[in-house]
């Protein structure tokens, strides 16, 4: 899967920079896609990356700037002259310029905006007024807006006059007040008679998103309706811009990253891995780790409550990690499945009973399987455990697994109901809850069956 | 965020079906988007869903069929006449028809293909020859293919003649042998003079994907280059079709689901949550649970090796869950971050040393924090533990956390190097590895410091 213009090899580039053959380097890069140059930049030493970046023509450089990873961006912001950066930002579509600026410290972004062309700067500032992660920030303002009385011929003339509409896939129709009243798929325009009016070929039902819509809802809309773009409107239904499928792709990747990091039990990093400082990573993780640590002290409390039991039957200790481990693992399996099903809107409070009965059934099957394996294991390797201990472990395992799948189903569903992101209910959290309660089940059963 | 055509309420629909007011129902559904009707179907009782589905005009029904969830699909396949289903499949773009058919049992899909229009059936069978999850299965074959000597006017005439090209966003240029030689962005075509030839406005460098490309690589390409579509070629560079951004969106969602389920420690379900039978879920989970169970017996072995130590100092038992829990949680946090970074190609074997040194630094900070909290906790609540035990726990915690973050960084990176999907290295797996080794560190330190 190679682009037809081959990307020069990293070693080749490094050699050209080292030997200062900058013209040869320009030739090498002449037809390479900006996205591929961005990847090269990410891989080069920072000084070399800056050298290479300075050689690029302005239109390529602006696209590269848009595509490159945060550590290189940071370097470029420091090393490249502000005037050139401002020129590059002028070249970018407004939403991409805003995306670049919003990651910078306020004083740097203010300085750069001050150096941009007044018109571009005004547009950037307008987008920056919308909240992060909303349609307002994500949308492209360059959008084709037709009037219902135009003919097809007039529409083509208008399209020709547009300087940089990012998507012509959908052409939106607005009234005199710029209110969205319809959409013309491009295909319709092409097959229509030149003198037909827009009115006769437009579709009156348009799915649109308010400018305040959360980016996750937008992604849901685009993915549900298989759109290439979705128009963004204000509260008066006036057309403000369009969010395109490729922007939504990036959002989906970002959201999946957040969910995965939360599931692992930490706050999402919000930035590429190497762009975050060690201290920031520490801060994102220490909170949950501490909460889980404190919750885990409960297991200590439970264990100490049964200290007399353990003094008489030390062998019970040997199986503690096995029991809480299996409970935790079964819980992790369930919680990952349920959280994803909630994200995809397959499970919600309304059908949680159905989900729960599935998980309990699966949990029972799993618990019984582990129980059989556990009994054989103890019989084989711990003959000194006698007859009662295998029974205790064999009964505890299904109980713990069923309990664990129950917790793992109900807690994230309830969280979702109360508008808490279910992904904060991480695997580690379920494991920790199950540790203490699982031990309690184990010790109570042991006390009962061993008659102690 | 409402579509401008309001979706009728579920209760309203149920009432109309119950009272057999089918014409009123048709009126209600007249302008509703097929994707919204699909959601309604998923929510209705199955009998009602079938009734409603039968009322839909064929073009709407085919889109609804494409959008609806698997349980309803299964129901429709059983209840709707084969002839009608075949008609609906004829209406769908070939790749969507294939996606529908590939989930059905072979005899059912063969029967339906037999009832389809010969031409459509042949195309379906051709796509079915490609492997699942490759560009061949995902691509749309209806694509605009221009010749270099055509004029702009001729091209418009050609576009008008196309019956159902799914995307006109990119127009590809091919030579006499149908080999891909260029691309014309639609915008260029619109602004060009009517008598200009395609040759003069086409771009000669096209990024394309081989028909055998894995869908994950495709998603990577589309997302990297911010494309709306990517042309698919055979080994001779002949144009076979196009994969559009909306298809890739679905792939990305699917892949994120797989990764999340794997991270939770089970095989991915590959289908919507409620579409999978309980026994299938059991099968997807029992393997890993068993492997983890067997690995967890190692912790039993470690504990039993130190049984004498535990008999003298039972209090050590109380802190076992705390220590292995914290180790496991820190490992889960790291593994989720690292796996996502590997997926996004931020971490690979080449820079694993940098990732490892980050994770160890963070681990050390986290371990020391937990250590301080742990010492205070033991001092406060277990005064009987004396001076040595807090020291043992306080030293064990940083060691276990650093060890755990190390495992969680190196194992998935190595897996990736050997072309094993790093997401199979789940949180539970790291937890289980850390359980046994963490205990070993704990007991060895205890033996040393308590002089036993």
Total structural domains within chain A = 3
Between A217 and B223, residue with greater pLDDT: A217
- Within a 13 Å sphere around the CA of B203, how many CA atoms are in the beta-carbon half? 17
Other CB atoms closer than 10 Å to residue B204's CB: what's the count?
Answer: 12
Are A427 and A331 contacting, i.e. CB atoms less than 8 angstroms apart? yes
In a shared domain, residues B283 and B349? yes
The domain that holds B199 is classified in CATH as 3.10.580.10
| CA–CA dist B95, B118 (Å, integer) | 16
pLDDT of residue A162 exceeding 70, the answer is: yes
The mean pLDDT value of chain B amounts to: 85
Check if B225 contacts A (Cβ < 8 Å): yes
Query: Max CA-CA distance within chain A?
Result: 96
CA distance A434 to B145: 60
A200 and A284 in a single domain? The answer is no
Residue A263 lies in a domain: no
What is the model's pLDDT at position B251?
Answer: 80
Q: Do the Cβ atoms of A300 and B314 come within 8 Å?
A: no
Q: Token pair of A358, please?
A: 């599935």
Q: Do B288 and A333 touch (CB under 8 A)?
A: yes
Q: Which of residues 379-418 of B touch A (CB under 8 A)?
A: 381-382
Query: Does one domain contain both A147 and A131?
Result: no
Q: Tell me if A51 is assigned to some domain.
A: yes
Q: What element of type H or E holds B240?
A: strand B239-244
Cβ–Cβ gap B191/A160 under 8 Å: yes
User: Quick check: is B262 in a domain?
Assistant: no
Residue A123 token pair: 């547009």
The DSSP 8-state label assigned to residue A3 in this structure reads B
Question: In this complex, which of A290, A300, A322 lies closest to B373 when CB atoms are compared?
Answer: A290
The pLDDT of A424-434, averaged and rounded, is 80
Q: Give B4's contacts in chain A (Cβ within 8 Å).
A: 204-208
Test B329 with A269 for CB contact under 8 angstroms: no
CA distance B54 to B32: 16
Q: Which residues does chain B have within 8 Å of residue A30's beta carbon, measured at their own beta carbons?
A: none
Q: B305 in contact with A at a CB cutoff of 8 Å? A: no
Which residue, of A243, A261, A291, is where some domain finishes? A243
**Residues spanned by the domain of B100:** 10-137
Mutate which of B175, B258, B333, B397 to disrupt the A interface (most A C-beta within 10 Å)?
A: B333
**More confident of the two residues A46 and B305:** B305
How far apart, in Å, are the Cα atoms of B149 and each of A130, A369, B153, B189? 48, 69, 12, 14
Spatial contact of B261 and A336, defined as CB atoms under 8 Å apart: yes
- Please choose, from the candidates B207, B251, B204, the residue with its C-alpha nearest in 3D space to the C-alpha of residue B226: B207
User: Are residues A16 and A106 both part of a single domain?
Assistant: yes
Interface test with A, best of B190, B381, B382, B425 (most A CBs within 10 A): B190
* Most B CBs within 10 Å, among A337, A378, A393, A436, to test the B interface: A337
- Indicate the residue among A101, A135, A169 that finishes a domain: A135
Q: Cβ of A157 under 8 Å from any chain B Cβ? A: no
CA distance B296 to B290: 9
Query: Domain for residue B258, yes or no?
Result: no
Give the Cα separation of B70 and A290 in Å (integer).
42
Task: Look up tokens 């827009």; give the residue.
Answer: A198
C-alpha A257/C-alpha A280 separation (Å) is 17
Cross-chain residue pair A213–B282, CB shorter than 8 Å: no
Instruction: Kindly report which listed range (A90-104, A177-191, A388-402, B64-78) carries the lowest average pLDDT score.
Output: B64-78
Residues on chain B touching A270 (C-beta within 8 angstroms): none
Helix, strand or coil, per DSSP, at residue B291: helix
- B291 plus B408 within the same structural domain: yes
Is A366's pLDDT higher than 90? yes
Q: How far is it, in rounded angstroms, from Cα A38 to Cα B154?
A: 38
Nearest CA in chain B to A363: B282
- For chain A, the average pLDDT equals 85
- Examine the domain organization and report whether B346 and B303 are in the same domain: yes
A179/B contact by beta carbon, under 8 A: no
pLDDT of residue A3: 41
Answer whether B248 sits within 8 Å of A249, measured CB to CB.
Answer: yes
Judge: B318–A300 Cβ closer than 8 Å, yes or no.
yes
CB proximity B69 to A under 8 Å: yes
Residues written for chain B:
452
Task: Please answer yes or no on whether A321 and B303 come within 8 Å at the CB atom.
Answer: yes
Q: Decide if B293 and A325 are in contact by the 8 Å CB cutoff.
A: yes
Q: Cβ–Cβ of B206/A4 closer than 8 Å?
A: yes
Provide the CATH number for the domain around residue A107.
1.25.60.10
Rank A7-16, A189-198, A360-369, A378-387 by mean pLDDT and report only the highest.
A360-369
Residues of B with CB below 8 A from A442's CB?
A: none
Task: Say whether residue B263 is in contact with chain A using an 8 A CB cutoff.
Answer: yes
Those of residues 29-58 in A touching chain B at CB distance below 8 A are 31, 33, 35, 39
Query: Would the CB atoms of B222 and A281 count as touching at under 8 Å?
Result: no
In which residue ranges of chain B is pLDDT below 50?
A: 1-4
Q: Does the CB of B347 have a partner CB in chain A at under 8 Å? A: yes
Is residue A253 in some structural domain? no
Tell me whether residue A27 is in a domain. yes
Min CA distance, B290 vs chain A (Å)?
7
Spatial distance between the Cα atoms of B317 and B306, rounded to a whole number of angstroms: 11
Domain end point (choices A198, A224, A243): A243
Of A246, A289, A333, which has the smallest distance from its Cβ to B285's Cβ? A333
Q: Any CB–CB contact under 8 A between A210 and chain B?
A: yes
Count of CB contacts below 8 A, A vs B?
Answer: 402
DSSP-derived letter for residue A197 is: B
Confidence band of A141 (pLDDT split at 50, 70, 90): confident
Return the axis-axis angle of helices B82-91 and B106-115, rounded to nearest 10°: 70
Query: How confident is the model at residue A2, as a pLDDT?
Result: 37
User: What CATH number corresponds to the domain at position B324?
Assistant: 1.10.357.20
Cα nearest neighbour of A182 on chain B:
B4
CA-based nearest residue to B269, from B77, B103, B49, B417: B103
What is the number of other CB atoms lying within 10 angstroms of the CB of residue B35? Answer: 21
**Cα distances (angstroms) measured from residue B68 to each of B204, B359, B373, B395:** 40, 43, 52, 56
Enter the tokens of residue B352. Answer: 């694993």
Asked if A366 and B274 come within 8 Å (Cβ–Cβ), the reply is: no
Contacts of B248 in chain A (CB under 8 A): 249
Q: Which of B213, B301, B332 shows the shortest C-beta gap to A264? A: B332
Residues 6+ apart with CB under 8 A from B18: none
Sign of CA dihedral A433, A436, A438, A444: negative
Q: How far is A108 from chain B (nearest CA, A)?
A: 26
Residue A174 to residue A251: CA distance in whole angstroms: 28
Q: How far is B209 from chain A (nearest CA, A)?
A: 5
**Looking at the structure, do residues A407 and A344 belong to the same domain, yes or no?**
yes
Contact (CB, 8 A) for B389 and B419 = no
Q: Does A195 touch chain B (CB under 8 A)?
A: no
Phi, psi (deg, nearest 5) at residue B382: -130, 65
- Encode pLDDT of B169-197 as tens digits: 778 999 999 999 999 888 788 888 888 99
Residue reference for tokens 């896939």: A169
Do A285 and A415 lie in one domain? The reply is: yes
> Which residue of chain B comes nearest to A227, CA vs CA?
B246
Q: How far is CA A26 from CA A10, A12, A31, in A?
A: 14, 12, 10
- What is the model's pLDDT at position A298? 84
Interface of B with A in 87-116 (CB under 8 A): none
pLDDT (0 to 100) of residue A194: 84
Q: Does position A347 have pLDDT exceeding 70, yes or no?
A: yes
| Residue among A142, A320, A310 at smallest CA distance from A231 | A142
Same domain, yes or no: B153 and B232: yes
According to the model, what pLDDT value does residue A6 have? 65
Q: Which residues pair with A209 in a beta bridge?
A: A232
Classified as helix, coil or strand, B268 is: coil
Burial class (CB in 10 A: 0-12, 13-18, 19+), B423: buried
Report if residue A4 sits inside a domain.
Answer: no
Task: Tell me which of A444 and B276 has the higher pLDDT.
Answer: A444
Pair B93, B163 in one domain:
no
CB-based contact, A313 to chain B, within 8 Å: no
| A330 occurs within a structural domain | yes
**Cross-chain residue pair A328–B332, CB shorter than 8 Å:** no
Quote the pLDDT of residue A179: 94
Q: Are both B130 and B164 inside the same structural domain?
A: no
Res. A4 pLDDT band, cuts 50 70 90? very low
- The answer to whether B7 contacts chain A (CB < 8 Å) is no
Instruction: Note the pLDDT of residue B177.
Output: 92
- CA of B415 to nearest chain A CA: how many angstroms apart? 18
pLDDT at B1: 36
Enumerate residues 6+ apart whose C-beta is below 8 A from B157.
none
Asked if A206 and A128 sit in the same domain, the reply is: no
What is the enclosing helix (H) or strand (E) of A393?
helix A388-417
- Kindly indicate the confidence band of residue A340, based on its pLDDT and cuts at 50, 70 and 90: confident
């Amino acid at each position: 899967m190679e682009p037809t213009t081959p990307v020069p090899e990293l070693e080749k580039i490094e050699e050209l920079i080292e030997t200062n053959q900058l013209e040869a380097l320009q030739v090498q890069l002449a037809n390479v896609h900006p996205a591929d140059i961005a990847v090269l930049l990410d891989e080069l030493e920072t000084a070399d990356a800056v050298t290479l970046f300075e050689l690029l023509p302005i239109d390529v450089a602006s696209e590269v700037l848009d595509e490159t990873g945060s550590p290189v961006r940071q370097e470029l912001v420091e090393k490249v002259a502000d005037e050139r950066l401002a020129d590059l930002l002028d070249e970018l579509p407004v939403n991409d310029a805003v995306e670049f600026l919003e990651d910078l410290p306020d004083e740097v972004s203010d300085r750069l905006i001050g150096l941009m062309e007044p018109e571009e700067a005004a547009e950037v500032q307008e987008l920056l007024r919308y909240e992060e992660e909303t349609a307002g920030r994500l949308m492209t303002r360059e959008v084709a807006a037709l009037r219902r009385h135009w003919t097809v011929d007039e529409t083509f003339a208008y399209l020709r006059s547009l300087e940089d509409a990012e998507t012509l896939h959908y052409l939106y129709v607005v009234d005199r007040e710029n209110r969205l009243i319809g959409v013309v798929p491009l295909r319709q325009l092409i097959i229509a008679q030149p003198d037909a009016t827009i009115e006769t070929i437009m579709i009156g039902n348009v799915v649109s998103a308010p400018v305040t819509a959360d980016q996750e809802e937008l992604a849901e809309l685009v993915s549900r309706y298989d759109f290439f773009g979705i128009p963004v409107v204000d509260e008066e239904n006036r057309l403000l811009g369009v969010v395109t499928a490729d922007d939504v792709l990036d959002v989906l990747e970002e959201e999946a990253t957040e969910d995965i990091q939360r599931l692992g039990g930490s706050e999402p990093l919000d930035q590429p891995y190497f762009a975050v400082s060690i201290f920031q990573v520490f801060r994102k993780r220490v909170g949950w780790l501490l909460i889980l640590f404190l919750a885990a002290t409960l297991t200590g409390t439970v264990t100490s409550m049964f200290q007399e039991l353990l003094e008489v039957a030390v062998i019970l200790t040997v199986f503690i990690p096995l029991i809480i481990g299996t409970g935790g693992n079964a819980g992790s399996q369930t919680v990952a499945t349920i959280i994803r099903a909630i994200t995809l809107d397959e499970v919600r409070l309304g059908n949680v009973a159905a989900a729960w009965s599935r998980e309990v059934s699966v949990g029972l099957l799993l618990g019984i399987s582990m129980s059989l394996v556990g009994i054989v294991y103890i019989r084989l390797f711990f003959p000194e455990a006698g007859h009662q201990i295998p029974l205790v472990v064999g009964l505890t395992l299904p109980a713990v697994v069923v309990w664990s799948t129950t917790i793992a189903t109900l807690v994230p569903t309830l969280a979702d109901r109360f508008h808490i992101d279910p992904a904060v209910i991480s695997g580690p959290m379920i494991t920790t809850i199950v540790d203490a309660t699982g031990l309690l089940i184990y010790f109570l059963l042991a006390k009962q069956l061993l008659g102690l």
